[in-house]
Amino acid sequence: MARVGLTKERLTLAGAELADEVGFDKVTVSALARRFGVKDASLYSHVRNSQDLKTRIALLALAELADRVAAALAGRSGKDALAAFADAYRDYAREHPGRYAAAQLELDAETALASAAGKHSAMTRAILRGYDLAEPDQTDAIRLLGSTFHGYVTLEQAGAFGHTARDSQTSWTRILDALDALLRNWPTT
Amino acid sequence: MARVGLTKERLTLAGAELADEVGFDKVTVSALARRFGVKDASLYSHVRNSQDLKTRIALLALAELADRVAAALAGRSGKDALAAFADAYRDYAREHPGRYAAAQLELDAETALASAAGKHSAMTRAILRGYDLAEPDQTDAIRLLGSTFHGYVTLEQAGAFGHTARDSQTSWTRILDALDALLRNWPTT
DNA sequence: TTATTTGCCTAATACTCCTAGGTATCTTAG
DNA sequence: CTAAGATACCTAGGAGTATTAGGCAAATAA
């Protein structure tokens, strides 16, 4: 019996690929074992359980996404940064729907701290440097941006924007324009 | 063996309650059977399968949500309507997290047509009547609003806004202010 | 080469989903 | 009011997934 060479890392990566192919919720220990041509039980030397596997995939996705966003953001500011951030986000979700869904997995406090989640919020805050917003408006604006991007990407993935004449790419661009205008002219209370 | 009196409707409602208690993804045929004190197999006289049960819960949630939004929207326009719509949405999600998750279930085309989904998009469009927006800006604005509300509610539910000083209710109110300002002053290309 | 680690296996239990076929309870027509 | 039919719920059982325990063989270290 030739060994296949399983490791945490290979399982996590294969799990992420599987998620992109069939959906994150269909990533299962047995499906992954099947993919490697080994028995289910063999995976348990490498991951604690199904939840552990999913968490690892989620952390992988968060890290990948953070890297992409960081690269996109480098050297940009103002609306350029806003668009780069948003596009990095959306592109990742479109290229890797399963991984994106994985990144949405709610992590326990400890795991979240060890994840790239902190990096994400720092980067979101960085976008606003190009706009003149003080606290607490800044926090509100961050929440608005995060909500809008996440919501758009989720709804787009669910096919919500595919059934009308207006194509999704155009709406996306116009929404970025609108958000930019809003940030430049944030209403005071 | 006294009969419990199962029907599609009671199963669907109990499924919705179960979803709110333990999460939509944990709504299972066996859990529901346990709740009624009957055997798993007994449910299959009333629902076709697990997917059918989930779809019914989703349709229930969509209909309930549409009713709430319609009631909230009645007699309001402009920013009032915007806030009423958004609050109805968010309140429903907070009171019924499982149902709200169910409403996100992707339905096949036929089921979607028979659902309250059409009513939802009509109502979203109705909000914009108080603002001076022509097509295709209107479609873009609808997508922005839908994305932001859905994204905010989802992230809030995931606990994303609970760990900083700024409380979520305040951000929500300010974001509605900001969106109102944006709609009143939609940037032209 | 031997000793040790460890990668993968078999075996077994539990839970969920679902089908087939049976029995008991309700409903309704005569 | 009773017999006939419909149907609510049951038992039995097969298939897939999650997980644990313990074993053998392949890789690695001594």
Q: What pLDDT was estimated at residue A11?
A: 97
Q: What pLDDT was estimated at residue B1?
A: 59
Beta-carbon separation of A187 and B181 below 8 A = yes
Q: What pLDDT was estimated at residue A108?
A: 87
- The CA–CA distances, whole Å, from A162 to A155, A158, A171, B95 equal 10, 9, 11, 30
Q: Quick one: DSSP state of residue B188?
A: P
Residue A51 main-chain phi, psi, to 5 deg: -60, -40
Query: Which one of A144, A149, A163 makes the best mutation probe of the B interface by having the most chain B beta carbons within 10 Å?
Result: A144
DSSP H stretches of helix in chain A: 8-22, 29-36, 50-73, 78-95, 97-103, 109-114, 117-127, 137-157, 168-184
Q: Render pLDDT for A30-42 as a digit per residue (tens, 0 to 9).
A: 999 999 999 999 9
Q: What pLDDT was estimated at residue A165?
A: 75
Beta-carbon separation of B174 and A137 below 8 A = yes
Q: What pLDDT was estimated at residue B3?
A: 82
B57-184: CATH superfamily: Tetracycline Repressor, domain 2 (1.10.357.10)
Mean pLDDT of the residues in chain A: 94
Angle between helices A137-157 and A78-95 (to 10 degrees): 30
CB-CB contact of A58 with A103 (8 Å): yes
Q: What pLDDT was estimated at residue B96?
A: 98
Assign domain A8-184 to its CATH architecture.
Orthogonal Bundle (1.10)
Å between CA of B54 and C1' of D15 = 22
Q: What pLDDT was estimated at residue A71?
A: 97
Q: What pLDDT was estimated at residue B188?
A: 86
Which residues in chain B are contacts of A185 at CB distance < 8 A?
Answer: 181, 185
Å between CA of B44 and C1' of D8 = 11
Range in A27-36, A82-91, A124-133, A176-185 the model is least confident about: A124-133
Q: What pLDDT was estimated at residue A188?
A: 86
pLDDT per position in chain B (189 positions), as tens? 578 889 999 999 999 999 999 999 999 999 999 999 999 999 999 999 999 999 999 999 999 999 999 999 999 999 999 999 999 999 999 999 999 999 999 888 889 888 998 899 899 999 999 999 998 999 999 999 999 999 999 999 988 888 787 899 999 999 999 999 999 999 987
Shortest-distance nucleotide from A45 CA to C1': C7
Footprint of strand C on the protein (CB under 7 A): A 1, 3-6, 37-39, 41-42, 45-46; B 1-3, 28-31, 40-41, 44, 48-51
The better pLDDT of the pair A128, B164 is held by A128
Which residues in chain B are contacts of A150 at CB distance < 8 A?
Answer: 151, 154-155
Query: Which one of B140, B175, B183 makes the best mutation probe of the A interface by having the most chain A beta carbons within 10 Å?
Result: B140
Closest CA to A25 of B106, B111, B21, B92: B106
Range in A3-7, A68-72, B24-28, B70-74 the model is least confident about: A3-7
Distance from chain centroid for Cα B150: 9
Q: Quick one: DSSP state of residue A165?
A: S
| Separation of alpha carbons A148 and A176, rounded Å | 10
Q: What pLDDT was estimated at residue A3?
A: 82
Measured at the CA of A171, the angle between CA A105 and CA B101, to 5 degrees, comes to 30
| Separation of alpha carbons A171 and B16, rounded Å | 34
